[in-house]
Chain A
Amino acid sequence: MKDGKIQVHYLTRVEGHGNIHVEIAGGELRSFRWEIPEAPRFFEAMVRGQSYADVAHITSRICGICSIGHTLCALQAVENALGVRPSEQTLLLRKLILHGETVQSHILHAGYLAAPDFLGAPSVVPLVESHREVVLTIIRLHRLANEWCDLIGGRTTHPINAVVNGWTSLPTEEQLSALRTRIEAGLADAWAIVEVFRLFSIPDFRRDTEYLALRHPDEYAFYEGDIASTDGGTTPVSDYRKKVIEFIVPYSTAKRARSDRRPSYAVGALARFNNNYEQLSPQARKAAEALGFRPVCTNPFMNTVAQVVEVVHALEDSLRLIDLLLARGLRREDRTVQVRAGHGVGAVEVPRGVLFHEYTLDERGLVVEANLVIPTGQNHQNIEDDMEALIPQVIERPQEEIRLLLEMLVRAYDPCISCSTHLLEVEFR
């Protein structure tokens, strides 16, 4: 493309749409930017003055896709502020439901958003005819994950059973055993998706990037850990502000972030894969090998492939968690907490990357200060930096091809483009 403008506008959504602007003149990139009006600071205002006991419930509504992650992150932060250490049973159930959400979100993303790109379809809808088995496998896995989250959380999304220092209601051992059987069957479906992804040709683009993810000594971290970087070193979560430095740019209301070392960094499945590959479950490692995928991989388009590997991991690791829960036996536990003033940070790996919640509570347990750092906010600058590196490499290609590649790049990150705005648009004919 010699001259022209590429504009991808998503005006069908009232607000929170992501826009891509690219201007090319004389075969050179003149200007570009990635605009995303999202305003997480309002979430902070919404929890101020609220009780510690309600924070998780309120923040679970921020996102319909990561609602479990927000719930768990809020609970963790509040528990840290109150000096509460939840029981092993509570933690095992939290890890189990978080795996459920990871499968839910990853399989939707890989199947409904990314697969159409690789299969040359404009959306998942025409794939129902051309690749019906693939679509049905995705739906089966997604349904399993929904019912799994429903069983543990009390609802498919926006869980109600998870509370400070425990659970208001527990699954029975029979229900957990039945879930275990279904997850085993789900693993076969996940392998079918791995086989589909083996055939895809992923755009070949690499950019040296810093990847941040939680790391835990005993497991591939989702629920807890220190902040690890592919540049080396770890940072305790309580010091996250030393590693994650938030800033804003004039053309976008969303908060962005850079690291203490670089002007941008990435979080998400690829970041976890790159930092914690050695701790993947045995079948997930095999899936990665089958996909020819090794760390450290600096191709952002591979984020979706990392998600597929993590689906296998989440399913297999859930079998281990259920076995532990069943071996110990489920029992009701005391959830009492002593309310006090305090400050706490929580960090959870949600599907799109590490999420931070930070709260300061007064002596009545009311929130006086809050800070939330969402994964998409952390990825914005990295998306823009990827675009800046990618466009010159493909500038000779036709406009439509460049547009599709840029869209695919954004889709690979699956940015949280404001969950609030699913507003219906209606056409009275």
Chain B
Amino acid sequence: MENKGRPVLVLGLGNPLYGDDGFGPAVIEALSRLELPDEVEVLDGGTAGLGLLSAIAGRRRLLVVDVAEMGQPTGTLVHFRWPEVGLIGAVSLLSLHQAGLAEILALAERLGWAPKEVDIFALQPASLGWQRGLSRSARERVPEAVAAILAVLSRVSVGCCEV
């Protein structure tokens, strides 16, 4: 599927009302204050789940910021690539509200619309629960995530790696 948006999408996922789950949106907010290459779009995807399929479909490159259960010490930021690293998704859903990145990528891939590779910047959260604002360890990782994303974007824009 064609995408009318820019070829590179940086997507933040999560809920700012749910503690460290707001990490993705916080990183997107920080990025949106910076000047970015023309081909880059940033999007706070919130918790739209499968609703984000058309936002990612047909992008040449996708970078995602999210929190993840990785069995790491809290506050650890990990950069990995899908599909090199697998995401565990639900087999069948009881509700649309259960769909996340794993389910979107599985569907996009089957449709032939998924980017070949997705860079995922994931934070092992310290606290998840109904409260506004990030924990200190998550807050401190926002600049680190921004820098890591900018580093990938700069490689993309100077053409030293395949877009």
Contact = CB atoms under 8 A, between A and B. Distances in A.
A135 B111 contact: yes
A419 B48 CA distance: 8
Interface string A89-124: 000000000000000110011001100100000111
A19 to B, nearest CB: 9
A422 interface: yes
A142 B88 contact: no
A48 to B, nearest CB: 11
Given A12-B90, A104-B51, A425 B96 contact: no
A116 B111 CA distance: 16
* Residue from the set B48, B54, B95 with the largest chain A CB neighbour count within 10 Å: B95
A81 to B, nearest CB: 22
A426 B87 contact: yes
B136 interface: no
A251 interface: no
A13 B68 CA distance: 11
B48 A157 contact: yes
B132 interface: yes
B17 A58 contact: yes
A426 B76 CA distance: 14
A142 B110 contact: no
* Residue from the set B48, B66, B99, B131 with the largest chain A CB neighbour count within 10 Å: B48
Contacts of A156: 48, 51, 55
Given A64-B48, A426-B85, A429-B85, A14 B97 contact: no
Nearest to A111: B50
Interface string B27-65: 000000000000000001111111101110000000000
Contacts of A421: 18, 21, 128
A386 interface: no
Interface in B88-106: 88-102, 106
A65 interface: yes
A134 interface: no
A417 B95 contact: yes
Contacts of B92: 116, 122-123, 407
Interface in A376-429: 407, 410-411, 414-429
B128 to A, nearest CB: 6
B46 A64 contact: yes
B95 A416 contact: yes
A139 B85 contact: no
Contacts of A128: 107, 110-111
Given A61-B17, A422-B13, A424-B122, A414 B95 contact: yes
A7 B1 CA distance: 39
B14 interface: yes
Given A123-B91, A158-B44, A108 B85 contact: no
A410 B95 CA distance: 8
Contacts of B106: 125
A43 interface: yes
A10 interface: yes
B88 A427 contact: yes
A424 B68 contact: yes
B159 interface: no
A160 to B, nearest CB: 10
A12 to B, nearest CB: 5
A426 B69 contact: yes
A237 to B, nearest CB: 25
Contacts of A414: 95-96
Interface string B123-144: 0010011111000000000000
Contact of A8 (B15, B45, B53, B94): B94
Contacts of B100: 422-424
B86 interface: yes
Contacts of B122: 424, 426
B10 interface: no
B145 interface: no
A15 interface: yes
Nearest to A41: B130
A166 B13 CA distance: 28
A142 B50 CA distance: 10
B21 A10 contact: no
Nearest to B44: A158
B75 interface: no
Interface string A296-320: 0000000000000000000000000
27 contacts: A8-B94, A12-B89, A12-B98, A16-B97, A43-B130, A46-B17, A61-B46, A64-B46, A64-B47, A64-B97, A65-B47, A67-B46, A104-B51, A122-B92, A129-B110, A157-B46, A410-B94, A415-B95, A420-B21, A421-B18, A422-B13, A423-B67, A426-B68, A426-B86, A426-B122, A427-B85, A429-B86
Interface of B: 1, 13-18, 21, 44-51, 53-55, 66-70, 80, 85-102, 106-107, 110-111, 120, 122, 125, 128-132
Given A415-B95, A417-B94, 8 more contacts: A16-B97, A123-B92, A139-B53, A158-B46, A424-B122, A426-B70, A427-B85, A428-B85
Interface of A: 8, 10, 12-18, 39, 42-43, 45-46, 58, 61-65, 67, 104-105, 108-109, 112-113, 116, 122-125, 128-129, 135, 139, 142-143, 146, 156-158, 407, 410-411, 414-429
The 4 closest A-B pairs by CB, nearest first: A64-B47, A42-B130, A422-B100, A420-B18
